[in-house]
Chains A and B, each alone.
Chain A
Amino acid sequence: MIYDPIDIALILVKIGLVFVVILTLAAYLVFAERKVLAWIQDRKGPNRAGPFGLLQPLADLIKLLTKEDFRPIGADKWLFYLAPAMAAIPAIMIFAVIPFGAPLTLFGHTVQMQVSDLNVGLLLFMALSSVAVYGVALGGWASNSKYALLGSIRGLAQLISYELSMGLSLVPVVMLARSFRLSDIVNAQSGCWFIVYQPLAFTIFLISIAAECKRIPFDLPEAEGELVAGYHTEYSGMRFGLFFVGEYINIIVLGGLAATFFLGGWHGPWLPPVIWFTLKVFSFAFLFIWMRGTMPRLRYDQLMHFGWKVLTPLALVNIVVTGWWLVLRG
């Protein structure tokens, strides 16, 4: 195979750009979450570092980097050190398959606004999100702490349960788009967004991704009232920061995927495609923050009951109905 140097350079630039933008966005999402939560609770939120507190992420970063890197006695050394990376890297890798804008033409090359247009993009997302479980599981297990272990066991059970309903809720999308390629799914929605055809699948997917990124109604793995901080109880400094940022990268990525699968990706009138995509991602992020400010935490049996006895059967019924509808429509 012969590679064009300009193509390779473009791919590298895209990877670098996505990496920097996602990390910055994740850091500012932390800031946005603190601000919005503060407004919901009639407070002002962080406003000391820089104008309107805009340098707060930087201050947090310096604090996390200069903290002691602590390892508890009896912790499994290598797994303890590796687990934060295992949690954060799959999250950021998923973004490789998300198309975030319309294809551009630069130097006579058509540039996909997407790092890699895999023909199994949707499956890659499923694969990487199922692998992200290892960070939670090994981090909690390697800490040699009861709270961390309880948190990681809860996390394991929750993530594998809700991955099922998440995957099943995406089957109708694939049936409608007739492709696993994410750019095809986006192009299939140029006329009408899939949320119009599949409101139920969208709801199931939304609830499942809230559980996937361990947001508040489903934040049992890190329930601070019960388990101190759950699976990252024993982590300090930048290793904790990696878990933390990984969670917010997850919000951005899953928001981007929800936009891609149901809200037409970068399609939208008047505004440029990249802006549309960013708007959709931000509205999902805002929804998650808003939910965090509103809802209490589920009990563990309620969580499992809801995942296995409500969401999964509903998603299966939805697949069957969509299949019949597609067959009857011809």
Chain B
Amino acid sequence: MKILSDIAALLTGMWITWKHIFRRPVTIQYPEEKRTPYPRYRARIVLTRDPDGGERCVACQLCSASCPVDCITMQSAEGPDGRRYAEWFRINFARCIFCGLCAEACPTLAIQMTPDFEICTRDIMDLVYEKEDLLIDGCGKSPDYNFYRHAGIGVTQPRGSGAEEKPPVDVRGLLP
């Protein structure tokens, strides 16, 4: 009888919802009760320093170029030793979608994502973070990495003197 199986189906559904009434809710009562996000959670963006304490950012604009919502801007400058740095660096968190593409694009691992997700404010202009707000006193996720030790700073440090760097090839010597 089809009608009996239909009624049985209805009652099965009712029984399942009845059991769920007494199940413990999965709700996390957010402001009182907070869950710890995983270390690789993508939230507030920071600018890290290398192990020597210098800024990692070389103002290469790759993060800005990769940003899908165009929330990163900066002005590049060059130090007296020929080392590039960002004169100012600005992230508009009101536009940021926390996709992590900037952190992926960064060649010096300067820009990194942190698990701190509670950055809402009353005034939207407070969400525009300047370099002072972004820069932290630490290396972030890869503490040993120092870009300049590998790449060198072209002008002051002669080519071929960096770590794991081979001496530059004399292109004329390669001619047949």
Contacts and interface: CB of A to CB of B under 8 A. Distances in A.
- Chains A and B in contact, CB within 8 Å: yes
Count chain B CB atoms within 10 A of each CB in A39, A41, A44, A294 and give the residue with the most. A294
Interface in A39-75: 39-44
B23 interface: yes
Interface string B10-24: 100110111011111
B25 A43 contact: yes
Interface in A275-294: 290-291, 293-294
Contacts of B20: 39-42
A43 B27 contact: yes
A39 B10 contact: no
A38 B25 contact: yes
Contacts of B10: 295
Contacts of A294: 13-14, 16-17
Nearest to A48: B29
Contacts of A291: 14
A290 B23 contact: no
A293 B21 CA distance: 10
A38 B23 CA distance: 11
A39 B21 contact: yes
Nearest to B25: A44
B13 A295 contact: yes
A177 interface: no
A304 interface: no
A36 interface: yes
Contacts of B23: 39, 42
Nearest to A291: B14
A42 B18 CA distance: 11
A289 to B, nearest CB: 10
A94 to B, nearest CB: 28
Nearest to B24: A42
Size band of the interface chain B makes with A = 10 to 19
A290 B14 contact: yes
Contacts of B16: 294
Contacts of A39: 20-23, 25
Contacts, number: 34
Chain A interface main SS type:
helix
Interface residues of A, number: 13
A50 to B, nearest CB: 16
Interface in B110-128: none
Contacts of A44: 25, 27, 29
A291 B24 CA distance: 21
Contacts of B14: 290-291, 294
B4 interface: no
A43 B26 CA distance: 6
Contacts of A41: 20
A6 B31 CA distance: 56
Interface in B18-73: 18, 20-27, 29
Contact of B17 (A38, A43, A290): A290
Given A290-B14, A295-B10, A295-B13, A40 B21 contact: yes
Nearest to B21: A39
B25 A290 contact: no
A47 to B, nearest CB: 8
Nearest to A47: B29
A56 to B, nearest CB: 16
B28 to A, nearest CB: 10
Given A36-B21, A290-B18, A42 B13 contact: no
B20 to A, nearest CB: 5
A44 B27 CA distance: 6
A42 B17 contact: no
Interface in A153-198: none
Nearest to A41: B20
A19 B14 CA distance: 33
A146 B14 CA distance: 35
- Between B13, B14, B17, B23, the greatest number of chain A beta carbons within 10 A of the residue's beta carbon is seen for B17
Nearest first, the 7 closest Cβ-Cβ pairs linking A and B are: A44-B27, A294-B17, A39-B21, A44-B25, A294-B13, A40-B17, A293-B17
Interface of B: 10, 13-14, 16-18, 20-27, 29
16 contacts: A36-B21, A39-B23, A40-B17, A40-B20, A41-B20, A42-B23, A42-B24, A43-B26, A44-B25, A44-B27, A290-B14, A293-B17, A294-B13, A294-B16, A295-B10, A295-B13
Given A36-B21, A40-B17, A294-B13, 5 more contacts: A39-B22, A39-B23, A42-B23, A43-B27, A294-B14
